[in-house]
Chain A
Amino acid sequence: MNKYDAVVIGAGNGGLVAAIRLLQSGAKVLLVERHNLPGGFATSFRRGRFEFEASLHELNDFGKDGGDVRDLFDSLGVTNKIEWTSIPEAYHVICPNEKLDATMPFGIKAFIDKMEEYVPGSRKSMERFFALASEIREAQAYTNAQNGNVDSSYMVKHFGNYVRTGSYSVKEVLETLKMPKKAQDILSAYWCYLGAKLSDMSFTHYASMVIRYIDRGVMMPKGRSHEISLAMADRIYELGGEIWFNTGAKKILTGKEGAVCGVLLDDGRTIETKHVVADIEPTVVYGRMMDNVPEKIVKATNARKLAGRGFSIFLGLNKSPDELGIESHNYFLYDTSDSDKQYELMKGLDNAAQATVCLNRAYPDCSPKGTTIMYFTTLYMDDAWGKVKPEDYYKTKEDVARRLIERFEEYTGAHLMGNIEQISIATPMTYARYGGHPEGGIYGYESKYDDGLTARLLMMKDDKMTKGLRFCGGSAMRLSGYSSAYFSGDISGRQTAGDIKRGE
């Protein structure tokens, strides 16, 4: 029988990092992945003369001279395996109903200056916002390094603002800062990346993301996120690890006192191990992959709210961005800047709010001369796609895609229809298929008030409810998104290495 110190289930962003961390600690590790590629959402696909990025808009906190994610990649030994390219501007937010049209730069100073231009009188509140955000990011780095075992008096002394803002929503803090309404609207444009409304989303989570984008440098790999995933796989092979593709884990087996004792694979083989790191939602692990789950865990898992379900369109166009009339790299298009209202609108199939990227505006050579690559993404805040019958599926997805593209044309004046050479549409069904995500969710659990970043970081110990089982990925303690998923793999990988050393 096969025996490993640890089995990592799922080679998504979290699982890849966890496997590297475990291997670096000297453990014997098997990484199993149901798909035939590493990366999970972090992948790419080809259609004709285009190679589409499956999910990454940009990797934040990755500055030329440091950044938490770059530091992590350095210590994993993967940074130099990847060819990086930088991103021109932060984002372009448009909401014609409220006459909002702003393009924001990277860099705190430039960002504040630009905001002052759009919203005179916003400067002081913006400076305060960034002061809070910096402190929050530092506090998180500290929590990460301590594996969540933080000393609260140290926290209050060194990261007082982190503690004082820690219980508030984005909305509450921005109001306290007396930030003008329009500046709040522009600043909060990223909210749909996290998928919770601002009255619900914890401020620390939002602020830490904004500063990672605006201040800490933003890059993306030329070979799409697939290049990162293959670089990590390469590192795993270098360190003597094994990756079994096309190999799903069916069950996590438990023995005495409910502790992990093995993994049953789809092909019927059993792998013996005492430690599993699952890059999978607890809802799936406890709901589909384990028997005799204690009631406490069932309740705690049922209590959580799934975050947005994904929908994306990938376009390869046969004209250049100039010819099509596309100005920016990264657009946010909203019906309303009131995220509470927008959130409600994003429950129905007629939702047309979107985060849209023109890859050539960041990386001009990403497609042949005279062509353009675009991605459109939206989220569904409810299970609207669950009601779509198989026989209506193709028509529904084309209707939704048409609405999103027409919305983009209407808000920006670009001309896309008639120039589409390649199109691929991913729906919640697609995400359920490739990642096994319940309801086709792409963001794990919602960053709600009660289940926000601070709460999860402080409860890492309590959340380990099965001996020998830790979680990583977009549903774990750092919440969703690329950098969060990488960090969660870092934390759970190192913690599991510690468990192994202690002979747990």
Chain B
Amino acid sequence: MAYKFKRQIFSFLDLIRFTKIVPNRKKMLEEGSSAPLPATDDVTETMKVLHPGHMKGTLLEKKEVAPGFYSFLFAIDKPLFFESGSYVTLGHEVGTSYVTRPYAIASSPFDALREKRIELMIKKAGFFSTYMIEEAKVADVFDIHGPFGDFSHESLRDHDDVVALAGGSGIAPFISMARSLHEGSSSGYRLHIFYGTKTLKDIACKDELDALSKEPNIDVTYVLEEKTEGYPQGYIDRKILAEKAPKTFTAFISGPNQMIAFAREELAALGLEAKDIIAEPNPIRDRPSEGKSYKLTVHIQDKVYEVEAKDTETVLVALERAAIKAPSACRAGGCGYCHARLIKGKFTIWGGDKRRLADAKFGYFHPCVSFPDSDLEIEVPPAK
């Protein structure tokens, strides 16, 4: 015989209790406060400072910090607190295109939080950087989005000694880290910067870096390609690291692709485990190709566009060239921010497939690293 539950002496009392469930809840709901429902809460407000998302950045100052390498100081319209090593995207119309590019934040976290200012450092590289350097003017307003990235010291993963390997414009995130340690917005690790440039005058912010290296938890070594009195000559290699770096450390690499590849080899030769080497890939550039052009059909919400896609350019660039505001952040295939749906057509991924397993299965792709190999029909979410 099946078990019959009974808690009260008479089981009908259990049934009566059951009939009270609804009246009890009704009473509870009627007794709620009539004060207005909360429009926000503390966690949400703090979240907005950590992830303000889309900001307006007004250019306050632009100056050349090394030949062809410029600092841009922006006033942002919201307070921001970030972890040094993070990047933002900077967006603006350029001619008939709307483009965004990722740049590491060079300024300090407290500056963004208390003064609502951020500094980016831009090296002349191509389409957008040339626009910024040659045409952007003080008081121009830009779209700044972020912060993004996984290029920050993680005390649970990393050693207490961080060796920062910077090549050229790759110095920006490390300047932020040094400034952050100096002002006390981060702590718990020692920063050893190895900054490689061609010549002495290519070193950006040298006076400030020299001053920061007087801090007990910061030191800076300049490595110059050109033979220069008083400086190690060559590249940042195993020899100089063995000589000047601490015994165990976590390496952060930031710089051009060839520099990252070289540094990885040197660090592996020193016996570093893969987990102790952190590098963020650079945006994918053009692919050398036959110069074919395809038809790209783009669905955004209930709108359809037909644009041209060159096989030398990523699908994302094809969208931007057509002035379609498509989402993007890292432009290197890893952040997933440009996630789009393939309806028809073929493409090739450059720089490694970093999609989620199921994305590949259901035909989603990252336009920022995908080059068209046929006419394509895709669905893209609107950029906000």
Interface string of A89-119 (1 = CB under 8 A from B): 0000000000000000000000000000000
Establish whether residues B156 and A458, one from each chain, have CB atoms under 8 Å apart when the complex forms.
no
Contact among A37, A242, A298, A390 for B36, CB-based, below 8 A: A298
Nearest B residue to A248 via CB reads B384
Nearest B residue to A316 via CB reads B275
With a cutoff of 8 Å between Cβ atoms, the chain A residues found around residue B18 in the complex are: 163-164, 166-167
With a cutoff of 8 Å between Cβ atoms, the chain A residues found around residue B28 in the complex are: 303, 450-451
Establish whether residues A244 and B381, one from each chain, have CB atoms under 8 Å apart when the complex forms.
yes
Contact among A161, A244, A318 for B301, CB-based, below 8 A: A244
With a cutoff of 8 Å between Cβ atoms, the chain B residues found around residue A419 in the complex are: 275
B-side interface size class: 35 or more
Establish whether residues B21 and A302, one from each chain, have CB atoms under 8 Å apart when the complex forms.
no
Q: Say if the beta carbon of A286 comes within 8 Å of chain B.
A: yes
With a cutoff of 8 Å between Cβ atoms, the chain A residues found around residue B336 in the complex are: 36-37, 45-46
Establish whether residues B357 and A227, one from each chain, have CB atoms under 8 Å apart when the complex forms.
yes
Q: Say if the beta carbon of B247 comes within 8 Å of chain A.
A: no
With a cutoff of 8 Å between Cβ atoms, the chain A residues found around residue B39 in the complex are: 287-288
With a cutoff of 8 Å between Cβ atoms, the chain B residues found around residue A257 in the complex are: none
Q: Say if the beta carbon of A143 comes within 8 Å of chain B.
A: no
Given the interface contacts A160-B4, A224-B358, A420-B275, does A450 sit within 8 Å of B31 by beta carbon? no
With a cutoff of 8 Å between Cβ atoms, the chain B residues found around residue A186 in the complex are: none
Give the residue among A46, A221, A286, A430 with the most B Cβ atoms within 10 A.
Answer: A46
Main secondary structure of the interface of B (DSSP, over half): loop
Establish whether residues B43 and A386, one from each chain, have CB atoms under 8 Å apart when the complex forms.
yes
Establish whether residues A302 and B43, one from each chain, have CB atoms under 8 Å apart when the complex forms.
no
Main secondary structure of the interface of A (DSSP, over half): helix
With a cutoff of 8 Å between Cβ atoms, the chain B residues found around residue A440 in the complex are: 43, 47
With a cutoff of 8 Å between Cβ atoms, the chain B residues found around residue A160 in the complex are: 4-5
With a cutoff of 8 Å between Cβ atoms, the chain A residues found around residue B381 in the complex are: 36, 244-247
Q: Say if the beta carbon of A80 comes within 8 Å of chain B.
A: no
With a cutoff of 8 Å between Cβ atoms, the chain B residues found around residue A450 in the complex are: 24-25, 28
Contact among A37, A165, A389, A417 for B5, CB-based, below 8 A: A165
Q: Say if the beta carbon of B214 comes within 8 Å of chain A.
A: no
With a cutoff of 8 Å between Cβ atoms, the chain A residues found around residue B222 in the complex are: none
Nearest A residue to B81 via CB reads A390
Query: Of residues 305 to 347 in B, which have CB atoms within 8 Å of A's CB atoms?
Result: 327, 334, 336-337, 339
Establish whether residues B156 and A401, one from each chain, have CB atoms under 8 Å apart when the complex forms.
yes
Q: Say if the beta carbon of A145 comes within 8 Å of chain B.
A: no
With a cutoff of 8 Å between Cβ atoms, the chain B residues found around residue A309 in the complex are: 43
Nearest A residue to B17 via CB reads A167
Binds B, one of A19-27, A67-75, A431-439: A431-439
With a cutoff of 8 Å between Cβ atoms, the chain A residues found around residue B38 in the complex are: 283, 287, 438
Given the interface contacts A36-B381, A247-B382, A391-B81, does A423 sit within 8 Å of B156 by beta carbon? yes
Establish whether residues A287 and B156, one from each chain, have CB atoms under 8 Å apart when the complex forms.
no
List 15 A-B pairs, Cβ < 8 Å.
A46-B356, A172-B7, A223-B356, A242-B302, A246-B382, A300-B30, A318-B275, A383-B42, A383-B43, A391-B110, A398-B154, A438-B44, A439-B41, A452-B21, A458-B22
Residues of A at under 8 Å CB distance from B? Answer: 2, 36-37, 44-47, 51, 127-128, 131-132, 156, 160-161, 163-168, 172-173, 176, 221-224, 226-227, 230-231, 233-234, 242, 244-247, 266-267, 283, 286-288, 293, 295-296, 298-304, 309, 318, 383, 385-391, 393-395, 398, 401-402, 405, 417, 419-424, 428-430, 432-433, 438-440, 450-452, 454-456, 458-459, 462
Residues of B at under 8 Å CB distance from A? Answer: 2-7, 11, 14-15, 17-18, 20-22, 24-26, 28-44, 46-47, 49-51, 79, 81, 83, 109-110, 113, 150, 154-157, 185-188, 273-275, 301-302, 327, 334, 336-337, 339, 354-359, 361-362, 364, 381-384
Beyond A132-B5, A172-B7, A421-B157, 20 extra complex contacts between A and B, CB < 8 Å: A45-B336, A166-B21, A167-B14, A167-B20, A168-B17, A223-B357, A224-B358, A246-B384, A300-B30, A383-B43, A386-B46, A390-B79, A394-B83, A421-B275, A423-B157, A432-B41, A440-B43, A454-B21, A455-B24, A455-B25
